[in-house]
Structure 1
Amino acid sequence: MTTDALTLLVVEDNDVDRESLRRAFRKAQVPCTLVMANDGVEALARLRAEGTGALDRPFLVLLDLAMPRMNGLELLRTLRADPQLASVVAFILTTSRRPEDIAEAYALNAAGYFVKDVVGDDGSQLVELLERYWTLAEMPGSRA
């Protein structure tokens, strides 16, 4: 369990979806730091950064599947193959309902798989879920 403010790396190439998430967190008044990445390549650079560019641990990742350069499943595969990043807690937020995508995401230990139109335009339920997960779960890299 952590009492620190939520740190969330949002990996999403759609400006409208990124802004919707920002608004949802503001509206819910969830204390958080949102870090944005446009695709898997940019996210990987943020996750591997050191010094002032590094994300404070613990953190959560929320990623889309359909992105240029490196899609969400490719990013998840890369994370799981990297000993330094294998324990990253990642949730999927996507438009894909393909059973193959869902199965692969969970096979790669995604913490959850959410379809954008089910989550809704305001994102309030997703924000609530992520906040509850953050405050109740023991996270890799947590300060004891």
Structure 2
Amino acid sequence: MRNLSLLLIEDDQIETLKFQKIVSSINEKHKVTIAQNGEEALRLVKNIEQLPNVILLDLNMPKLNGLEFLKILKNDLVLKYIPVVILTTSNYPNDILECYEMGIAGYLMKPLKYQDYKSLIENFITYWSVNEFTRKN
């Protein structure tokens, strides 16, 4: 399995801490970068030397929400190829459809129970660690 560089775009600090804890328990060599909203995430991806292998994106955020971020990202000639997986509490059918129409790689619902969330993130990491579509480190 390959070490991943992940960008988590999430405004909830508890969700961020849970995610980081789970990822580091799987493999401490995975790199997790955090952005608290879409504006911060855009600054990060435009200014870092190495693009993330995968972006995990929450939809409900202040300043620049997930859908707005996704539209900007998918219109950028370089950034549009970064796989984006939605990680959110929204199961609103229009959100799901709109995200897939914009070219997301997946849509994951945040489970309420910690153990279910942990299992979801572990499966996500396992999949993207072996997926050949992700950028090489």
- Retained in 2: the 8 A contact 1:30–1:131? no
| Residue equivalent to 2:14 | 16
Distance in 2 between residues matched to 1:24 and 1:141, nearest whole Å: 22
- Deviation string 1:1-47 (CA, Å, 9 cap, x unpaired) is xx541111000000010001011112333531110000000000011
Q: What is the 5 A alignment of 1:54-133?
A: 54=48, 56-57=50-51, 59-117=53-111, 120-122=113-115, 123-133=117-127
Instruction: Give the unaligned 5+ runs of structure 1.
Output: none
Normalised by the size of structure 2, how large is the TM-score? 0.88
Relative to structure 1, the CA distance from residue 76 to residue 91 in structure 2 (aligned partners, 3 Å threshold; closer, same or farther) is: same
Q: Please say if 1:28 is aligned against 2:15.
A: no
- Retained in 2: the 8 A contact 1:57–1:142? no
- Retained in 2: the 8 A contact 1:64–1:92? yes
Distance in 2 between residues matched to 1:60 and 1:29, nearest whole Å: 16
Instruction: Give the unaligned 5+ runs of structure 2.
Output: none
Pairwise CA distance, 1:83: 0.4
The CA RMSD over aligned residues, in Å, is 1.9
Relative to structure 1, the CA distance from residue 107 to residue 30 in structure 2 (aligned partners, 3 Å threshold; closer, same or farther) is: farther
- Which stretch of the first structure deviates more once superposed, 125-134 or 63-72? 125-134
Pairwise CA distance, 1:139: 2.9
Distance in 2 between residues matched to 1:27 and 1:99, nearest whole Å: 33
Distance in 2 between residues matched to 1:142 and 1:34, nearest whole Å: 16
Pairwise CA distance, 1:140: 5.1
- Retained in 1: the 8 A contact 2:53–2:136? no
- Which stretch of the first structure deviates more once superposed, 21-30 or 88-97? 21-30
Pairwise CA distance, 1:78: 0.7
